Structure formats: C-alpha cells, structure tokens
Structure 1
Amino acid sequence: MPLARAENLAESDTFWQVRTGLATLAQQRIPTADPFSWTAHGESWTLNSWGFNVAVAAVYQAGGLPGVALACAVLVAGIGALVLVLARSLGASPLVSGWLLVLCSPLLIAWLSARPQLVDYAAVLALVLLLRRLVGAGRPAGPLVGLAALAVAVRRGDAVFAAALAVAACGSLAAVRILPVLLLLALPVLASFASRPAVLEYATSRRLLTQAAAGGLAAAVALTAVHLPSLGRPDPAKYPTAAIDAIPSGCRLFNDYLLGGLVLLEQPDVPVSLDSRNDLYGEDHVKRSLLVLDGQGDLEEGLAGAGCVLVLPARGLAQRLRESANWELVSAEAAAQLFVRR
C-alpha cells in the first residue's frame, strides 16, 4: 500500500514544501517572508512545518521526487508497523490485526500523502505506546524523558498535533483532518476486541481466507512492480509537466490554485500568483483569483502584472484567452494550458 500510494504525487503542498526546504538549506535560515510569489512577495509568512520541509528537501537533493515518494512510503509503512505493535500490546492476534489494517486501508489511503501530517500520525501512535509503558512502569523517568523528547521533536505549532494529543487523552473529535488519527488509534482496539478464540479458530480453519490473502498480496506486489518506474511522478491527471517546462524564465505567472506548488519546484525563477499556502494569501485573495479564473470581470484588470497564464482548460479564463488577440496559446495539455502575453 505505501508504494502504491507513492506512485503519483497528487498533493500540491508537497512541491512547495520541498522548494521551501531547499531555500532553507541554501540560506541557512527559516524564511519569514514570502520569496516565491509576485502577488504576496515580501509579506510575513510563518512557516510551521520547516523541519519536515528540510528533511524532504535533503531527500530531494539525493533522489529527486522519487526519493521523496519512497521516503514518505517508508514513513507510511512505519505508521502501519506502529499500529500493529500497539495492537499486539493490547493482546490482539497478528492475523486479525493484519487483516483489519488491510481492510481499513482504503479509508486511510487518501490521507497518507507526502505531507507533515505523516509525522503527526506516527507521533500519536508512539505517544500512546509511551503512555502505556509509563502507566505500567515502576520507574517512569525513562518514558517521561522519551515523551518530552517526542513532543519537542514533532511539535510543529499547528492544530493537528495539539488535536491529536487531545484525541489520545480524551477521545474527542476536533476537526475533519483528525479523522485518520482516530482511525489509526481505533484499529488496535478493534483488533484486540476481534481477537476472540472463535474468530481465530474460524480464520485458521478456512483455507479460502489464506488463499485469498496470498492472492491479494501477490496482486498488490505485481501491481506495484508494474508502476514502480513511475514512482514519485506528479499526477499526470492534475499537473501539466510539459506546459510548466515551457514557461519563459522569469515570467510572472497567473495560475490555477493547484498548479502553483509544482511550478515553484520545477521553475524556481518563475513567480506565481497563487499556490496552496492559504495562510499566506488569505481568503480574499483566493476568492478574487477564483473569479478571474472563472473568466469573470475585466480581463486586463484581473491579469494586470502577469505575463503568463497557466490554467485548467475548462476554466472560463482559458476560453476567454483562447479568443483574445493579446494572448498566445503556447502549450496545451489535458491538465492545463499555458498562455503568454503577446
């Protein structure tokens, strides 16, 4: 599952996080102002996940995007291992735990993208293991030190980790993004509950279940092997790599929301108008950009300052630019079209 999930990088945040990590390594300091866009250039920017950014940037320098995808796949595998270890500590059967993890993986796979939240998921599970050891230990100093070190190492200052701690402590639901944390914590408990003698006897006595498991594993391995050469590629259904390569150097780009991150990574000298750093741009800027992308309002005013436009073909803006004498269609892909001002 981790390798299958790593085949296509579909999360826009991953790309600008790699670029930010590269900038942090090059400058030997954490950016405090936006260096990447032309619409918010120089504005104050609080970077929460700088540790993750630096880590993925170092991996990127060594192995490119395939390396980033592989590293995050290893982290996902580690999360799965922590779930199984925690289930085992609750007395769950390895057979039941493994089956339950596989059956519930479709519910988790959408959340297991190459983002800092992977660290949070692993941290919550490790936190529970430490707390269980702390409760049962006669001399708790060691686990306390480990707990403090864990908190210092993974604390990123955002709501996810704080909410995850709250979930681990009192089982509350703070936000939609905490749902994978709840599921990961629930799996060991459910596995322990399901590890009853009757269930285990039934599972071990049915060769069909064993054969189905072996067949499913073989199919997963074969499918992963077939797609392994494309490991870490930007999802071709979402990202127009040829159009991004065709953007003139230094051209101020007006772009679709999802495309800004990959442009920052692949064309670092091209300032973007928007990317998925919502905390930087603010809701008003995003809404104004969406109106222009939909082709509404005065085109010249909406694109003032931009020399290039990278937009989804179905957008109203793309249709208006195709009909405009002031803009030239330079590259057309299913994912996006690139226009350059004449």
Structure 2
Amino acid sequence: MAKVVAVASNRRWDRVLFWGFLAALAIVRSGHPDERDAFWQIRAGMENLAGLPLARPDTWTWSGVEGNWYPNSPLWNMLLALSYGAAGIWGLFVLSAATILALVMVTDALGRRLGARPLPGLLGLLVVYSAAFPMISSRATLAIQLLLLTAVYLALRLGDRLATMAPAVLNALVLASALALSTLGNWLHLSFLLLGPAMGAVWALIWLLTPGLSGRRRLVLIIAGGIGWLLGPVLSPYGLAVGLARARAVQEACEGVILEWASPFNPLVPPKFFIMLTVALVLAVGAAGWLYRRWRAGAPVRDLAALVAIGVPTAFAGLVAIRFLGVSLLVLAPVAAAAATRAADRLRSTPTPARLPTGLAARLRDYGTGRFWRIALTATLVVLSPGVVLLGAEHGDPPERAMLARLPVGCRLFTGSVLASVSVLLRPDVPVWMDGRLDFAGRQMILDGYGYQAGTMADPVPPGSTCVLWTDDAAGAGLRARLAASADWRRDSRDGTLELWLPVAAG
C-alpha cells in the first residue's frame, strides 16, 4: 500500500515539475520577445475594432506605398488589440503566455497518446523548444501551430469514439469541426489557405488508419472532413482568389531577403538557425524511422503517422526557408517527448557492463532512476525561479519606449522595421518610412532599407526623413558613419544601444 501511495505521489510531483518548467518557459518567452510585430498588429487590430475595413490604404508611413494594405492575420490582430486594450503590455504578455501554455497542453496530450511520461517527456520537449525558441513568440504563426496540433488531436479523439457515437452524428461532427477549424485558421493567418487543404489530407490519413471502420464509413468521413477543410479558404477574410494573390505577393516580396524566408545555409543567417535545422532533420528522420518500424511490426501507427505527415515534409522544406522549421519542430514535439521516454526506459533496462568500476556503475544506475531526476530538476527549478520572476516582471515592455518618447512630435522617422513596429503603436503621431509590414512595403523597399543600413545608397537616409533612430550595432555601422560625416545631421541623444539623430536645422 505504501508503495502505491509513493508511486502516486511521484507521479503528481512529476506533473508539477513538467508544468513548472514549461510555465517558466512561457513566462520568460512572453516577458522577453525577440520580435516586435505584435505592436503594429495591435494598432491594426484596434483600427479594425474601431470599424475600419480589413483592406485599407496605409496611414502609418510617410514613404507613400500605394494600394490597399491587406492584413495577413486579421483575427490575431484583433485578439492582440483586445488584450492590449484590457491591460496594456500586460495584456499582450498574458495572451502570449496563455497561447504557449495551450500549445504545451495539446502537445502533452498527444505525447501521452504516444507513450510519453512527464519527466523524460519534459527533457525531450526542452530540447525541441530550445531549438524552436525563436519561433515561440506572440505571432499568429504560434496560434496556427496550436490549431494544427488541436486539429490532429480532435480527429484522433473522434476516431476513438467510433463505438459510442452514431455514424450520422460522427459525420456531422467531422464536417462541422473541419469547417470551423479551417475558417478559424484562415482568419488567424493567410498561410492556412495552403495548410487547410493539407490538414484535410492528414485527416483522411487518420480515417484510413483508424481500425473498426468499414470502407464506406471511411470514405464518408474523408469526404466530410475534406469538404470542411476545403470550404475554409472560401470563407477566408478576402476570399480564395484574393487570398492566394496576397500569399503569392508575400512570398515574392520576402523570399530570400527576410530571415524567415531565407535558407539556413545563407551565410548571413545566424548559426542558431542551422542548429534548428539540424534538430528538425534528426527528429524528422527519427520519427519516420520509428513509424516504419511500427508499421513493419504490425503495431498501430495512426497517431504517429498523423504527426509525421506534417512534421517530416516541413523539416525538409526548412532546407529552403527557415519559416518551415518552426512548424516541423513544434508539430513533432510530442514525438520527441515519447522518444525521450522510450530512451529512458531502454537505459533503465540495459544491464550495466560488468567491467565498469563499482562506483561508476552505481552512479549510472542512479542516473537512470526517476528519483535522481526529481531531485535534480526540483533543485534546478528552485534556483531558476527568481530569474523567471524577474524576467516575467518585465512583461515584454519594449526597451525602446524611453527613446521613442524623445522623438519630435510629427517627425518623419527612419528606423529599422523592428523599432518602427513599436513606434506605430507607442507614437502614432510619428509616421515611419517602413515598419514590420515588409510584404506591404515590397521587395525593392526592403532592399533599399538594407542599402541605407549599410551606407551604400546615394543619400545617407531616405529623402524626406526628419528623425533617425538606430541601434549601435555592426549591421548599422555604415548608416551611422554616413550620418556622422554629414553636415546635415547631428546625434541628439543616446540611450543604451539606441541613437537618435536629428537634422542640424532642428538644433
């Protein structure tokens, strides 16, 4: 009896450690976001909630980009705006952390279906989430990741209910669920124009691999799900034709010149993305190999196959564009949790070689026990907790706020897209040259921005600029050198790594 109580207690503590570490990850990531897209998205959502149409002429920039701007993630923008309106930057922090934790919840549910346990599963997830860290942010793409895994989990759960649900009810639920998820996905981000039909194929695979179905019932479920997933793009914010045109425009503007659209082999891409690629490929190959071995052994493969069908192709697509690596890693995260559990079981069951010294053999056996890892992980979490609290207390408040407050009222700002994205929310009176809506600015404007940053354009800054805010980093050395050598500009102030430059006449 005492042993049963101890086992139950250990299991509860394992779950506490699992959620403690991953809640810490959500807090740290939400408190220190790398990207600033959420800020301009908040302003876009606020305008939509105020009654402006989705597609509208630009009013944020002074560079004069022509045509209507089409937000790529209108629903996510409005969710951000509602969060910001309710609690300011803290609202953004809470929405980001909640989305990350919801993703972990679905990942955990899928991992447990594959045999994952909390402690080894935690170690597997930490490896994957560390590699995918740049992709875990308050962007619509994270919400899409959550929707993808939720869609897989829902289909698997519906398949589990075959014996207890009338066929007509199941068919209706499949059709309604697919339609709702596809429509929601298309409003969250236009990338779902392609992901939706792909999910229809994944659901078809799930029904094909679900035991206990007649051929006729499989066909009906495949058709019902397919109709739902294919109707979603038709109900997208701009309709199918305009939506596909916008998706092509984004790719044409950004491919090869924006980090997430670049290949990890591009010499200008930071090494961390090559590490991300390596982890994604190793995980994808391992998952595919595990699926093949289970299939050859005649074991059930439905749950694993559904994740492999998404995660493996996107891992290899990551050879061309970094943006696919986040999809692969986060979709295959449940597989990593299960694989870590299998590895722990194998380590525990493998006899210790007799030739090892007694002390080392005992230490290795100790390392394979849950008791050792409970103590080690508990101590680690206790040590890290103060830092997590401090980082969370900063709640993602942009460090650029103080410097943006120094901008002259109504000046025409030239800065990088990251700073401009914050400026359009915090200083709406200051129009920017280009912000984070790089696809709207267009490819040539993106390239011109790089040229000004490097100091290779005919003018130091775009003609018409009346204030310049830039970071003191190597990438902007050419720009700062041109400004320092110009008789028309002076450095007004500096705060940390940020420098504010104003025209000499303004002094």
TM-score, normalization by structure 1: 0.88
Measured after TM superposition, the shift of residue 163 of structure 1 is: 4.1
1:207 is the counterpart of 2:207 = no
Q: 1:5·1:113 contact (CA, 8 Å) conserved in 2?
A: yes
The C-alpha deviation readout for 1:69-121, integer Å capped at 9, x for no partner, is 22111110110111001112233333332332234321122211111011111
User: In the alignment, what sits opposite 1:277?
Assistant: 437
Letter in 2 for 1:296: T
Report 1:217-256 matches (<5 A). Answer: 217-234=381-398, 236=399, 240-256=400-416
CA contact (8 A) 1:9 1:233 kept: no
Aligned to 2:497: 335
User: What is the letter of the counterpart of residue 190 of structure 2?
Assistant: D
Pair 1:181-2:327 in alignment: yes
Q: Aligned pair 1:114/2:147, yes or no?
A: no
> What is the one-letter code of the residue matched to 1:246?
R
Structure 1 residues 128 and 326: CA distance shift in structure 2, 3 A? same
1:185–1:8 Cα change, 3 Å:
closer
CA distance in structure 1 between the aligned counterparts of 2:54 and 2:93, rounded to whole angstroms: 24
Deviation at 1:49, TM superposition (A): 0.3
Counterpart position of 1:19? 43
Quick one: distance in 2 between partners of 1:97 and 1:68? 29
When the two structures are aligned, how many residues end up with a matched partner? 337
Q: In structure 2, what residue type is equivalent to 1:303?
A: P
Which amino acid is the alignment partner of residue 179 of structure 2? A
SS in 2 for 1:331: strand
Structure with the higher helix share, 1 or 2: 2
Q: Quick one: distance in 1 between partners of 2:192 and 2:477?
A: 33
Where does 1:77-92 land on structure 2 (aligned, <5 Å)?
A: 77-92=101-116
Residues 161 and 79 (structure 1), Cα distance of their counterparts in 2 relative to 1, 3 Å cut:
farther
Matched, 1:323 2:482: no
Counterpart residue identity of residue 221, structure 1: S
Between 1:185-194 and 1:251-260, the stretch displaced more is 185-194
| Alpha-carbon separation, structure 2, partners of 1:198 and 1:162 | 40
In the alignment, structure 1 residue 151 sits paired with structure 2 residue 182:
yes
Relative distance call for 1:109 and 1:220 in structure 2 (3 A) is farther
Q: 1:322 to 1:192 in 2, by over 3 A?
A: closer
- What is the letter of the counterpart of residue 53 of structure 2? R
Relative to structure 1, the CA distance from residue 280 to residue 211 in structure 2 (aligned partners, 3 Å threshold; closer, same or farther) is: same
SS across alignment from 2:442 = helix
For residue 155 of structure 1, give the secondary structure of its aligned residue in structure 2: helix
Q: CA RMSD in A?
A: 2.5
Q: Distance in 2 between matches of 1:152 and 1:53?
A: 16
Amino acid at match of 2:471: L
The answer on 1:258 being equivalent to 2:290 is no
Of residues 162, 177, 194 in structure 2, which corresponds to 1:162? 194
Report the Cα offset of residue 219 of structure 1. 2.8
Deviations 1:198-235 (A, max 9, x none): 5577778352211111122223322211223211122x
SS at match of 1:328: strand
- Partner Cα separation in structure 2 for residue 117 and residue 98 of structure 1: 23
Alpha-carbon distance between aligned partners in 2 of 1:80 and 1:205, rounded to the nearest angstrom = 25
Which is bigger in relative contact order (C-alpha 8 A, separation at least 6)?
Answer: 1
Q: Which secondary structure does the structure 2 equivalent of 1:3 belong to? A: helix
User: Partner of 1:30 in structure 2?
Assistant: 54
Residues 154 and 14 of structure 1, relative CA distance in 2, 3 Å threshold: same
Deviation of 1:193 after TM superposition, in Å, equals 4.5
Is the CA contact 1:70–1:232 (under 8 Å) kept in the aligned structure 2?
no
Query: 305, 308, 311: which is aligned to 2:467?
Result: 308
**Cα distance in 1, alignment partners of residues 197 and 497 from structure 2:** 39
Contact in 1 for aligned 2:57/2:67 (Cα 8 Å): yes
Q: Structure 2: which amino acid aligns with 1:311?
A: W
Q: Give the deviation of 1:165 after TM superposition.
A: 6.4
Give the whole-Å Cα distance in 2 for the aligned partners of 1:160 and 1:332.
43
Task: Please tell me the residue identity of whatever aligns with 1:153.
Answer: L
Structure 1 residue corresponding to 2:83, chosen from 59, 63, 67:
59
Cα offset, 1:51, TM superposition: 0.5
- Provide closer, same or farther for how the CA distance between residues 192 and 227 of structure 1 changes in structure 2, counting only shifts above 3 A: closer
User: In 1, are the aligned partners of 2:28 and 2:388 still within 8 Å (CA)?
Assistant: yes
Distance 1:70 1:200, change over 3 A: farther
Partner amino acid for 2:452?
Answer: V
What CA distance in whole angstroms lies between the structure 2 residues aligned with 1:232 and 1:5?
9
Q: Which moved more, 1:178-187 or 1:11-20?
A: 178-187
Query: SS at the partner of 2:57?
Result: coil
Cα distance between partner residues in 2 of 1:87 and 1:192: 6
After alignment, is 40-49 or 55-64 more displaced?
40-49
Kindly indicate whether the alpha-carbon contact (under 8 Å) linking 1:124 and 1:165 is maintained by their aligned counterparts in 2. no
Deviates more, 1:62-71 or 1:27-36: 27-36
Cα distance between partner residues in 1 of 2:340 and 2:496: 47
Higher Rg: 2
Gaps of 5+ in 2: 1-24, 203-308, 350-364
The aligned counterpart of 2:270 is none
Q: Distance in 1 between the 2:470 and 2:341 partners?
A: 52
Letter in structure 2 aligned against 1:244 = L
- Offset, 1:307: 1.4
Query: Which residue identity does 2:464 align to in structure 1?
Result: G
CA separation in 2, counterparts of 1:131 and 1:199?
A: 34
Which AA in structure 2 matches 1:60? Y
Q: 1:326–1:127: structure 2 CA closer, same or farther, 3 Å change rule?
A: same
Distance 1:150 1:102 in 2: 28
Structure 1 vs Structure 2: percent identity of aligned residues?
28
Structure 1: stretches of 5+ with no match in the other structure: none
* One-letter amino acid matched to 1:71: L
